[in-house]
Amino acid sequence: MEDQQQKILLVEDEKNLAFNLELNLKAEGFEVYTAGDGELALEHYHNQGPFSAIILDVMIPEIDGFEVAKTIRKKDNTTGILMLTARAGDEDRVKGLSIGADDYLTKPFLLEELVLRVKRMAERAKMYRELPNSQTRPTLINAGPFELDKANLTLKSPQGTFELTVLEADVLEEFLSNPEQTLSRKHLLNKVWGLPGNIETRTVDNFILRIRRFLEADPANPKYLCSIRGKGYRLNLEDKPDESTQE
Amino acid sequence: MKASHHQKLNKFYSILRWMVHPVVVFVTLQIIWLAITLMWVFWFLESFQEIAKIAEIVGSSYLDNQYALIILIVGCILLGMLLVGTVMLFVTSQKQSHLMSQHKSFLSSVTHELRSPLASLQLTFETMKTRQIDGDTRNKMLEMAMEDIERLTRLVDQILVSSRLDRGLRGFSEEAEHLCLGEFIKTTALRAQWLDPDIEKRLEIICPQELEIHVPIPVMRLIISNLVENAIKYSPKGNPIKILVTLKEGMITIAVKDDGFGLSSADKKRIFRMFHRASITQKKAIPGTGLGLFIVKSLAKTLGGHAWAESPGKDKGSTFYLSFPVT
């Protein structure tokens, strides 16, 4: 069980980069399966899984990284996906995160940052896979019209019932446990992603856009999960004078 | 209430965006312009007699009947010239905008091509600094770092060469040297191992034995490496790449044939243009800058020859030709 949870699927077609990443991940105690194209990545995923985390390059031969992420997300909500790419445009970042990637790192990157992110993903996957048997953590979290089931990774909201990825569930848990409180991007990055606050925070913004689809009737004009300019985000459950400002 | 207000506002903005689109603005302006011109012609024809009377009272002889036609023609020519001027301005601005979007896409491609080897280099040195690694691994990592540096150098060279070629061929003169063509093609093609480590297995070179030519080596190397790298990038992994050299009537023709993704008829026309990338590149996530074939075509001219592409169609492979006189 322990071995299975420490497996990493590395999808990278640049052989030098793949070699270095594999070496470092192995040194961190992970079992690494490397694929140089999208087809092999899905083959490894089906035959060698479950994986604790997937490091996925976008521009890979055969099937591109976005398609690979989409295919995996259709049946797997617990494996963390970190998009690792040379494409730095915001459009790609939003696309990657909206199809189910949990994190996005642009090349070149710091080794320490990558290892930190992957470790956090692996921990999260391990925790969720063990959650149904755990007696210590509450699995149902209610706040206002929302009910988050962490064991089954679902959210009931006025918009319907949604299946969540583990990171989506973690982000929602943070908001549902702290309603009416403004949570800064750094706080979210630290508490949910497990990363120090000096790392860029655009991932958080892109991720909030994804979360809003589950909560809001009109995600472009959020009623519940609002941006507080210069401060962060707040989950509004009561109707009170609107202090929030959309960004 | 607030949401519906926002929806209305969004709809209004999208209509406004459509209305200020350059083509819509241009067509609208031209319609207004033509309407004003026609109105002016009708007004002039109808009111000329009255204008002539006023001119008579004032004592001007320039508004006599004999000048009416001249004034009308001159006015129409002037308005016509303005019309042509605006059309030319519009066409130029559209070309400019197309060029700008090509530059943007080029910058994004170059950034991508720079980031990958840079990431690899950074990771190599970080790993060497932070991990305990054995001698063999260290040597392998150093070799990889050298490969990455070579790749970066090649990219910078491509940009510099295409910039020089874009300014014209006059400044581009390299000293010619003797070389054995078959051997040279093989050595150059195998340098593409950074792109495909199995290139040697895929490659088939057919060249008349002992064929020696007198050409600038850097020019020839750039042409061959670009054509081979292209064949690797635009064909499935493991598929054969054939290089056929023929000598006929004092002309050497080098054909690089792959059975890859092929070329659409639109791509066939534009593939040698600077920054142009085949439509398949987006779909298949093929790396590149859109400079390689521009360099091939321009350098072929420096050899007194030319380059062209043939393809039976999409997914049916393609052949790139270089033809130049024997010297």
Q: Which residues in chain B have Cβ-Cβ distances shorter than 8 Å to A59?
A: 112, 285, 287
What was the pLDDT predicted at A247? 43
Task: Look at residues B266, B277, B175, B166 and name the one whose alpha carbon lies nearest to residue B220.
Answer: B175
**CB nearest B119 (choices: A17, A61, A218):** A17
**CB-CB: which of A61, A107, A220 is closest to B119?**
A107
Please tell me the predicted confidence (pLDDT) of residue A244: 47
CB contact, 8 Å: B93 with chain A? no
Cβ atoms of A31 and A37 closer than 8 Å: no
- What does the block give as tokens for B268? 């066939």
* Residues 6 or more apart whose Cβ sits within 8 Å of residue B172: B164, B165, B298, B299, B302
CATH code for residues B176-325? 3.30.565.10
CATH number for the segment(s) B108-166: 1.10.287.130
Does the beta carbon of A111 lie under 8 angstroms from any beta carbon of chain B?
yes
Determine contact: B131 vs chain A, CB below 8 A.
yes
pLDDT at residue B323, rounded to an integer: 93
Any CB–CB contact under 8 A between A20 and chain B?
yes
Where residue B269 falls (left for φ over 0; alpha for ψ -120 to 50; beta otherwise) is alpha
Q: What is the pLDDT of residue B171?
A: 57
Q: How many CB atoms sit inside 10 A of residue B288's CB? A: 19
Query: Which pLDDT belongs to residue B55?
Result: 72
Q: What is the pLDDT of residues B147-203, one digit of tens each?
A: 899 889 888 888 888 888 877 766 566 677 888 999 999 999 998 887 888 888 999
Check if the beta carbon of residue A188 is closer than 8 Å to that of residue A232: yes
Q: What is the pLDDT of residues B270-309, one digit of tens each?
A: 888 888 888 777 666 677 888 889 999 989 988 889 999 9
**What integer pLDDT is reported at residue A138 of this predicted model?**
62
At residue B1, the pLDDT reads: 47
Q: Look at residue A49 in the predicted model and tell me its pLDDT.
A: 76
Judging contacts by C-beta atoms under 8 Å, the chain B residues touching residue A19 are: 140-141, 144
B326: number of Cβ within 10 Å: 13
**What ipTM does the predicted assembly reach?**
0.75
Q: What domains sit in chain A, N to C, each tagged with a CATH number?
A: 2-131 (3.40.50.2300), 138-235 (1.10.10.10)
Do B6 and A17 lie within an 8 Å CB cutoff? no
Record: contact B3-A110, CB cut-off 8 A: no
CB contact under 8 A, A111 and B197: no
pLDDT tens, residue order, chain A (247 aa)? 444 558 999 999 888 899 999 999 999 999 999 998 889 999 999 998 789 899 999 888 778 888 999 999 888 888 889 988 887 677 777 788 878 888 888 888 889 889 988 998 888 888 777 766 555 556 788 888 888 888 888 899 888 888 888 888 888 998 988 888 888 888 888 888 877 766 666 778 888 888 888 888 888 888 888 888 888 898 888 755 444 444 4
CA distance B241 to chain A (A): 18
Dihedral angle at the C-alpha atoms of B97, B100, B106, B108, nearest 10 degrees? -100
Q: Which residues in chain B have Cβ-Cβ distances shorter than 8 Å to A87?
A: 108, 112
| Phi (first) and psi of residue A234, to 5 degrees | -140, 140
- Residue A233 is encoded by which pair of tokens? 């985000």
Query: Which residues contact residue B274 at a Cβ distance below 8 angstroms, ignoring those fewer than 6 apart?
Result: B162, B166, B290, B291, B294
Q: Do A107 and B6 touch (CB under 8 A)?
A: no
Phi, psi of B323 (to 5 degrees): -130, 130
Helix, strand or coil, per DSSP, at residue A23: helix
Sequence ranges of the domains in chain B: 2-102, 108-166, 176-325
The low-confidence residues of chain B, meaning pLDDT below 50, are: 1-2
Instruction: Please state, in angstroms and rounded to a whole number, the distance separating the CA atoms of residues B118 and B128.
Output: 15
Closest chain B C-alpha to A97 CA, distance in angstroms: 19
Q: Shortest Cα distance from B115 to chain A (angstroms)? A: 6
Closest C-alpha among B109, B112, B83 to residue A107: B112
